Amino acid sequence: MVTIFDVARHAGASSSTVSYVLNGTRRISCEGTFESTAGPLARILADRPRTTGFVVQNEAAIGPLLSPLHSSGRSVPADASVVALCPEQLAEQHAPALTAVSGPTRELGRVAVPGSPALTRHRFGTGQGWYLSTRLDDADYGTLVGRLVKEGGVEPDVPGLPAGVEAVTRRAADGRRWDVLINHATGTVPLPRPTHDLLTGTTAHELPPGGCAVLRGH
């Protein structure tokens, strides 16, 4: 259990100060959609127009929160601070990059429900369903997804892409194919081979951070 004294010690503040801050907060539940976030945000700003800080526990609500904040004339982080309880990699994908607070996932997984499984598999007919009831770090999540992909015989449409690059393939009825590549990584990544980018009309050798390319598939 985390007490107010633990928070104060971590923040370098007195327990009375932390108690005042916590008692002055307002908690709002939302599903993470734009509609479920914009309404509560509007009520908060109407009731407490001097609000300058938001802590987001639902990862899906980060994007829907930033958009109406900007529309209300509040700039992040100049006018409003947003702290997200999520992995740093996810927080850095937003513009501007947000402050992230990530918990000790393995420790939380061990103590959350003692004696209960964190990962289960149910076989039914020729298929199977997996249920993950905890949050894994990037390495463990990659290991799990890699196993599922291998067992399912899934092959990438565009092999050889580096980590962080999303590939979406679109096919026409006549057999033509286009590969849309999006670089979600924070650095420039090389492409498996130089290829013609339909967006720029030039030969693409790499993708910058946040870059996109449309390639004619083979």
Any idea where the domains of the chain sit in the sequence?
Answer: 31-102, 114-151, 165-216
pTM: predicted TM-score of the whole model, two decimal places: 0.41
- Contact between 204 and 191 under an 8 Å Cβ cutoff? The reply is yes
Is residue 164 within 8 Å of 184, Cβ to Cβ? yes
99-100/165-171 β-pairing: unpaired
| Domain range 165-216, CATH class | mainly beta
Architecture of domain 31-102: 3-Layer(aba) Sandwich (3.40)
Nearest to 214 by CA among 173, 164, 188, 176: 176
Residue (of 157, 151, 154, 147) closest to 126 by Cα position:
151
165-216 and 31-102 share a CATH fold: no
For residue 77, say if its preceding peptide bond is cis, omega within 30 degrees of 0: yes
Q: Is 164 helix (H, G, I), strand (E, B) or coil?
A: coil
What mean pLDDT is reported for the chain? 77
One pLDDT digit (tens) per residue for the chain, 218 residues:
334 344 444 444 444 433 434 444 556 666 777 777 888 888 888 888 888 888 887 777 888 888 888 888 888 888 888 888 777 777 788 778 887 777 666 666 565 556 666 788 888 788 888 888 777 788 888 888 888 888 888 888 788 888 888 888 888 888 888 889 999 988 898 888 888 888 888 898 989 998 898 988 76
Tokens matching residue 93: 């994908």
